[in-house]
């Protein structure tokens, strides 16, 4: 097993985690290890109940903090060292309990799906002006960086690392707003300027299982760490999610009829037709459809559409398309062009940005709170044991 010394290129959080594992492997920590493993095993005995599960985990963290402070292995340890040990404990315990604790209720899955579907429809027409974002604060190309950070939230199992994704996203937005306000001499209105941008970024990012991820952080991130800046940004994202769930025409600066028409068009565009989109033909083409042979059949077209693939026409041929596919194909084409254009603009912005020290540097997320672990590091840590 790799140690903190052997992982010198890892982040401070990773080093702290490996240090925690090393101390737990010390024979002197046997009593702590037994308590940790006993809690993990006993947790599965209870039927899933988010509220009681969260309280049980929080109580365990508090009792373990007392045990660690009093343990000989941490004799004379500073508050910072104790905090690092608790971060390691939280990550270890919640990684082991993830499959049991994350989205453990059917309602969570339903709400996640409903939010994702609504956001998918809003993505087709929502613009910054609909959220009353001032023109001088609009920077869609740079917001892509915030979208990318928020989109990582579902790739992590530890509550802290999920929270870091939110922190990084919000810090990108906050620094972009500060830079824009300084260059345009615009006085920021706090949350009145920040929250609409966060809502827009959340809609553009459409992070997977948004509801479940927020619930997981709220229940299982140590309460002592959900304070100050972290609490502010987390609360804003919770507010953004609530706004999206309840969003209707009167929530936006848009004509009510136009809103309903756009939502209906988006709903129809995302709906897969029940009938076979490719009429049966005689000869070789008909044989392909009957036998399933060929690169793109009516059946695998439906399978691709139902699988949620963003580009289900990649293997299609002209004869496979119907008139009803044209509108969706055009929408997908525009989406690809928009993303390519925005990414190019963001790249040029990154290459040319040289702001003064102490301000946002290069509009990147690297100056944010902290970057979570890479996928390779996560794989090593998910399998770590004591």
- Range name among 49-58, 315-324, 374-383 with the lowest pLDDT average: 374-383
Q: Could you give the percent of the chain with pLDDT greater than 90?
A: 56
What is the Cα–Cα distance from 259 to 256, expressed in whole angstroms? 5
Averaged pLDDT for residues 266-291: 52
Given this model, what pLDDT does residue 362 score? 43
Which position has the higher pLDDT, 308 or 86?
86
Indicate the domain borders of the chain.
12-101, 106-269
Given this model, what pLDDT does residue 152 score? 96
Given this model, what pLDDT does residue 182 score? 81
Say whether pLDDT at 241 is over 50.
yes
Given this model, what pLDDT does residue 194 score? 94
Given this model, what pLDDT does residue 312 score? 63
* CATH architecture observed for domain 106-269: Up-down Bundle (1.20)
What is the Cα–Cα distance from 217 to 87, expressed in whole angstroms? 14
Mean pLDDT over the full length of the chain: 81
Given this model, what pLDDT does residue 364 score? 45
CATH number (3.30.413.10, 3.10.330.10, 3.40.50.1170, 1.10.246.120) of 12-101 reads 1.10.246.120
**Which contacts (CB < 8 Å, 24+ apart) does range 240-246 have?**
240/195, 240/198, 240/199, 240/202, 241/115, 241/202, 241/210, 241/211, 241/214, 243/195, 243/199, 244/115, 244/118, 244/119, 244/122, 244/199, 244/202, 244/203, 245/114, 245/115, 245/118
Given this model, what pLDDT does residue 40 score? 96
- Range name among 84-98, 202-216, 247-261, 271-285 with the lowest pLDDT average: 271-285
Which position has the higher pLDDT, 23 or 320?
23
Within this chain, domains 12-101 and 106-269 share the same CATH topology: no
Per-residue confidence at 69, pLDDT binned at 50, 70, 90? very high
| Entry pTM | 0.72
- Range name among 104-108, 325-329, 363-367 with the lowest pLDDT average: 363-367
Q: Could you give the percent of the chain with pLDDT greater than 70?
A: 70
Q: In the numeric block, which tokens belong to residue 65?
A: 């903090």
Say whether pLDDT at 13 is over 90.
no
Per-residue confidence at 58, pLDDT binned at 50, 70, 90? very high
């Amino acid at each position: 097993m790799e140690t903190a010394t052997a992982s010198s290129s890892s982040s401070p959080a990773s080093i702290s985690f490996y240090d925690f594992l090393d101390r737990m492997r010390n024979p002197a920590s046997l009593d702590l290890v037994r308590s940790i493993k006993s809690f993990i095993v006993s947790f599965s005995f209870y039927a899933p109940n988010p509220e009681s599960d969260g309280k049980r985990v929080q109580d365990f963290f508090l009792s373990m903090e007392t045990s660690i402070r009093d343990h000989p292995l941490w004799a004379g340890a500073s508050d910072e060292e104790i905090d690092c040990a608790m971060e390691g404990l939280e990550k270890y315990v919640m990684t082991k309990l993830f499959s049991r604790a994350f989205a453990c209720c059917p309602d969570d899955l339903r709400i996640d799906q409903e939010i994702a579907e609504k956001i998918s429809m809003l993505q087709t027409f929502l613009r910054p002006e609909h959220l009353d974002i001032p023109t001088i604060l609009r920077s869609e190309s740079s917001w892509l960086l915030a979208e990318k950070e928020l989109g990582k939230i579902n790739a992590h199992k530890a509550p802290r690392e999920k929270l870091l994704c939110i922190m990084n996203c919000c810090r990108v937005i906050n620094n972009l707003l500060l830079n824009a306000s300084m260059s345009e001499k615009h006085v920021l209105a706090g949350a009145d300027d920040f929250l609409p941008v966060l809502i827009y970024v959340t809609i553009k990012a459409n992070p997977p299982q948004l509801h479940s991820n927020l619930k997981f952080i709220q229940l299982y991130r140590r309460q002592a760490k959900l304070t100050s800046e972290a609490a502010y940004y987390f609360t804003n994202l919770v507010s953004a999610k609530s706004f999206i769930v309840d969003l209707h025409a009167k929530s936006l600066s848009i004509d009510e009829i136009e809103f309903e028409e756009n939502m209906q068009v988006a709903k129809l565009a995302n709906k897969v037709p029940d009938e076979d989109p490719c009429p049966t033909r005689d000869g070789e083409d008909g044989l392909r459809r009957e036998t399933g042979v060929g690169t793109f059949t009516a059946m695998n077209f439906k399978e691709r559409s139902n699988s949620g693939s963003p580009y289900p026409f990649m293997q299609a041929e002209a004869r496979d398309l119907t008139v009803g596919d044209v509108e969706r194909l055009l929408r997908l084409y525009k989406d690809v062009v928009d993303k390519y254009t925005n990414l190019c603009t963001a790249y040029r912005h990154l290459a040319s940005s040289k702001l003064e020290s102490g301000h946002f540097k290069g509009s990147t997320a690297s100056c944010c709170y902290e970057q979570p672990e890479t996928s390779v590091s996560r794989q090593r840590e998910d399998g770590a044991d004591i």
